[in-house]
A and B are shown apart, each in its own frame.
Chain A
């Protein structure tokens, strides 16, 4: 396969970037999208040019590092997939492919396709956890949890923190990311204790980090490589409504 790539190139966070055109030649359909970029980069290095910088780590669809918007879709055209699990057989010979970084004020571009996603880490630091004194591992049946709650919590806990929800959201909102964490922990007895504080702290942190607000467009759900449902955003709204009286009365 021969392809034409239009790739966002930006030398550093402080310099303006632009789209540049590259040819990707002799690409095998079995290659992953990242392997295709590896081939292009080898060609660039052989010519003495700066290779395209992109984030990648596990290359098995679980780390959420490969943040690229491909032809206007976060993680490319394949549903429920990361870029590393997107294979070139999804494209046709002669295709033009536009590759851009996540675009959000909260995710500044560091270089080319690499963005700084530590804003998501700071959201987790805003009580996106359960405060526990570590000790011995409790017995599995010590805290009974209904099956349906365990399933809900696990569905939300699938979030790999890739940021595709933010990249796809017309408002660059991180509401699905926050909702996945809130929904995961609020569905379990261990997480209920801090549920009210968590939903307030995490949504406030989201505003501070410069993410936009949720407009219920549901682009996040469509882009999520783990298929996390926007029902968790509804759950977050319920959790917030529950927390609101305490918040207004100053607890």
Chain B
């Protein structure tokens, strides 16, 4: 049924990158919506974390799907980069790009930065192995005290810097990736061509800014343990 040559086809590989990328981008949108509950104070984000935990096995199904999408995206991304480099064994002495963007040409680097960031983020907030320990971990209503963790950790400049840089990589990666995905799905035509690049950058900027706003606002004292969202 799935002939091995199928996965060697350049269009199939593009489609795999685009589809796994779509799943990852969809996760990022959901993640941002979840994060925005921080602006409701402890009752917002702690309740959100509590409900997520209560999903139990469903959460693991979701995590499994996410892991599979990430695995496909990263492994085919690496494979395609190596193959594309092989396709031009000798670089030009002079090369003057006309239409391609720096973001587009450095997808592998922004992608690897994002993978590293995701690893850091898991160690930091999911496994809670980095930064000051939050005791007690459960709040008065027996929910994970995510709010205190955020507000305490994001007073530390090192963490804020890592998260802001990570979101810079996210903007860079998605500014090419989103428009590229639409082209790969064949949704582009002469009329949409000039707009997809712009739309892609705009959505990428909104997502990255939305995420980055949280550590930035906490760091500069707009969100505090006592006051909640100011």
Interface on A for B, CB 8 Å cutoff?
6, 8, 19, 69, 71-73, 98, 100, 103-106, 168, 170-173, 175, 199-200, 203-204, 206-207, 210-219, 221-223, 229-231, 233-238, 240-241, 244, 247-250
The reply to whether A200 and B94 contact each other, CB–CB distance below 8 Å, is no
A-B contact pairs, 23 of them (CB 8 A): A73-B98, A100-B94, A103-B89, A105-B86, A171-B88, A172-B88, A207-B8, A207-B10, A210-B86, A212-B84, A216-B179, A216-B180, A219-B98, A221-B99, A222-B98, A222-B99, A230-B188, A231-B188, A231-B190, A234-B183, A237-B11, A238-B186, A240-B15
> B80 within 8 Å of A by Cβ?
yes
The reply to whether A213 and B99 contact each other, CB–CB distance below 8 Å, is no
- A173 to chain B minimum Cβ distance, whole angstroms, is 7
The reply to whether A104 and B193 contact each other, CB–CB distance below 8 Å, is no
Q: Residue-by-residue, is B5-31 near A (CB-CB < 8 Å gives 1, otherwise 0)? A: 110111111110000000000000000
The reply to whether A229 and B190 contact each other, CB–CB distance below 8 Å, is yes
Known A106-B87, A170-B97, A237-B11; 9 more pairs at CB < 8 Å? A72-B96, A73-B96, A103-B89, A168-B98, A171-B84, A204-B5, A210-B87, A213-B14, A234-B188
The reply to whether B186 and A235 contact each other, CB–CB distance below 8 Å, is yes
> B92 within 8 Å of A by Cβ?
yes
Q: Which of B54-62, B100-108, B139-147, B216-224 contacts A (4 or more CB under 8 A)?
A: B100-108
From A98, A221, A237, give the contact of B14 (CB < 8 A). A237
Chain A residues with CB under 8 A of B3? 250
Interface on B for A, CB 8 Å cutoff?
1-3, 5-6, 8-15, 80, 83-84, 86-101, 104-105, 107, 176, 179-180, 183-190, 193
- A4 to chain B minimum Cβ distance, whole angstroms, is 13
- Given known pairs A173-B10, A204-B5, the reply for A98 and B93 (CB within 8 Å) is yes
The reply to whether B87 and A211 contact each other, CB–CB distance below 8 Å, is yes
- Given known pairs A171-B88, A211-B87, the reply for A206 and B98 (CB within 8 Å) is no
Query: How far apart are the CA atoms of A248 and B3 in the complex, in Å?
Result: 8
The reply to whether A233 and B87 contact each other, CB–CB distance below 8 Å, is no
Query: How far apart are the CA atoms of A175 and B88 in the complex, in Å?
Result: 15
- Given known pairs A170-B100, A231-B193, A250-B1, the reply for A216 and B9 (CB within 8 Å) is no
- B16 to chain A minimum Cβ distance, whole angstroms, is 11
The reply to whether B184 and A216 contact each other, CB–CB distance below 8 Å, is yes
Chain A residues with CB under 8 A of B14? 213-214, 237
The reply to whether B6 and A213 contact each other, CB–CB distance below 8 Å, is no
8 smallest A-B Cβ distances: which pairs? A212-B87, A238-B186, A72-B96, A222-B98, A217-B100, A72-B94, A171-B84, A234-B188
The reply to whether B94 and A230 contact each other, CB–CB distance below 8 Å, is no
Query: How far apart are the CA atoms of A170 and B88 in the complex, in Å?
Result: 8
Query: How far apart are the CA atoms of A247 and B7 in the complex, in Å?
Result: 12
- Given known pairs A173-B10, A231-B190, the reply for A218 and B87 (CB within 8 Å) is no
